[in-house]
Amino acid sequence: MENSFHGRTMATLSATGNSKVHEGFQPLVGGFTHVPFDNVPAVEALSDNRDIVAILVEPIQGEGGVHVPQKGYLSALRKICDANNWLLMIDEIQTGMGRTGQWFAFQHENITPDVLTLAKALGNGVPIGACIASNRATDVLVPGNHGTTFGGNPLACAAGLAVIEVLKTHNFIPAVAKKGELLLNQFRSTLEGQAGVVAIRGMGYMIGIQIDRPCGELIKTALDKGLLINVTRGDTVRLLPSFVMSQRTNRPACH
Ligand SMILES: Cc1ncc(COP(=O)(O)O)c(C=O)c1O
């Protein structure tokens, strides 16, 4: 999709719909077609293209500025894939493992992808990534087809399992849904309509506050005050708070 981000290996940066990410890495891996995100007709228009084998999509565009598509977008893509015998590949490297208030963001739409990618919060600091296949994608790669030196190493896998265990036993994910909504509502009620604020977007603990000018320097300003934030796309403050955040209501309002 345009404005997407899928990573920095050659194939994933080629799949990424952002020419800035491509700079300096040409020649790219060929064969990717990009269409606007959250635009079902743009995908439908490719239906007769027999060269297409899969759709790769983020359920919420993270690096692209926290763009949440309209409800029904992923289910519409699922239907198009089924009708065309394409695989639906969902990149949940940023949205997965509870970030949006469900284990995986695709669960908000009750669909199943054929391929799911996970990383980041799967290891919570320990480097681990996973590419999970179901349905028709199960036989595309078989053991030994496409390995990596450290793939499946016991240390990283133990960290992944520990993360899953902790998320489950402490029931963190429903709390992310509940507190995330509260957080988003609070941001909306305090910031919406303020000069310079263009949009407040998000779901669960994935929040983007777009302002009307480049704001990269806010990262350092915030850090100096002991606050970790990120700025993505140059103009969007992105907040991916920790799941252990408590809900304190006795704080003075912060302006
Ligand atoms: C949706 C998505 N996919 C993939 C990646 C990871 O890419 P890499 O580890 O290759 O930098 C990221 C990182 O931000 C991401 O947000």
Q: Which atom of ligand 1 is nearest to the CA of 61?
A: 1
How far is Cα 17 from Cα 85, in angstroms, rounded to an integer? Answer: 23
Q: Which atom of ligand 1 is nearest to the CA of 12?
A: 10
Residue 191: predicted pLDDT: 97
- Of 3, 5, 230, the one to substitute when testing ligand 1's pocket (max ligand atoms within 8 A of C-beta) is 5
- Of 3, 12, 100, the one to substitute when testing ligand 1's pocket (max ligand atoms within 8 A of C-beta) is 12
Residue 252: predicted pLDDT: 55
Tell which of 113, 147, 169 closes a domain: 169
How far is Cα 199 from Cα 178, in angstroms, rounded to an integer? Answer: 21
Question: Closest residue (by CA) to atom 10 of ligand 1?
Answer: 7
Residue 247 counted as domain residue: no
Report the CATH number that the domain containing residue 210 is assigned in CATH: 3.90.1150.10
Q: Is the CB of 9 within 6 Å of ligand 1?
A: yes
Report the CATH number that the domain containing residue 52 is assigned in CATH: 3.40.640.10
How far is Cα 158 from Cα 151, in angstroms, rounded to an integer? Answer: 13
The number of distinct structural domains making up the chain is 2
| 153 lies in the same domain as 181 | no
| 179 lies in the same domain as 147 | no
Q: Is the CB of 92 within 6 Å of ligand 1?
A: no
| 100 lies in the same domain as 208 | no
Query: For residue 138, what are the domain limits?
Result: 10-169
The SS3 of residue 169 is helix
Give the catalytic positions in this structure.
5, 91, 120
Is the distance from CB of 191 to CB of 210 less than 8 angstroms? no
Distance of alpha carbon 80 from its chain centroid, rounded?
21
Mean pLDDT by 10 residues, the chain (255 residues): 97 97 97 98 95 97 98 98 97 98 97 97 96 91 87 95 97 96 96 96 98 97 95 96 82 53
How far is Cα 81 from Cα 170, in angstroms, rounded to an integer? Answer: 36
Question: Closest residue (by CA) to atom 6 of ligand 1?
Answer: 7
| 180 lies in the same domain as 162 | no
Residue 250: predicted pLDDT: 57
| 108 lies in the same domain as 182 | no
Residue 56 counted as domain residue: yes
Residue 46 counted as domain residue: yes
Is the distance from CB of 206 to CB of 99 less than 8 angstroms? yes
Residue 91 counted as domain residue: yes
| 154 lies in the same domain as 178 | no
Label residue 61 exposed, middle or buried (CB < 10 Å: 0-12, 13-18, 19+).
buried
| 178 lies in the same domain as 157 | no
| 153 lies in the same domain as 193 | no
Instruction: Give the neighbor-by-neighbor strand order of the sheet with 87-91.
Output: 54-57, 87-91, 115-118, 130-133
| 199 lies in the same domain as 159 | no
| 105 lies in the same domain as 189 | no
- CB proximity list for 81: less than 8 A, separation 6 or greater: 54, 55, 87, 88, 114
Q: Does an H or E element contain 57, and which?
A: strand 54-57
| 84 lies in the same domain as 188 | no
Compute the distance from residue 12 Cα to the ligand 1 centre, in Å: 9
Residue 219 counted as domain residue: yes
Residue 246: predicted pLDDT: 84
Compute the distance from residue 237 Cα to the ligand 1 centre, in Å: 18
Name the residue with tokens 């990573």: 7
Tell which of 169, 195, 230 closes a domain: 169
Q: Which atom of ligand 1 is nearest to the CA of 92?
A: 1
Residue 48: predicted pLDDT: 85
Residue 141: predicted pLDDT: 87
- CB proximity list for 79: less than 8 A, separation 6 or greater: none
How far is Cα 113 from Cα 156, in angstroms, rounded to an integer? Answer: 24
Residue 2 counted as domain residue: no
| 112 lies in the same domain as 26 | yes
The SS3 of residue 10 is helix
Compute the distance from residue 16 Cα to the ligand 1 centre, in Å: 10
Residue 159 counted as domain residue: yes
Tell which of 114, 138, 169 closes a domain: 169
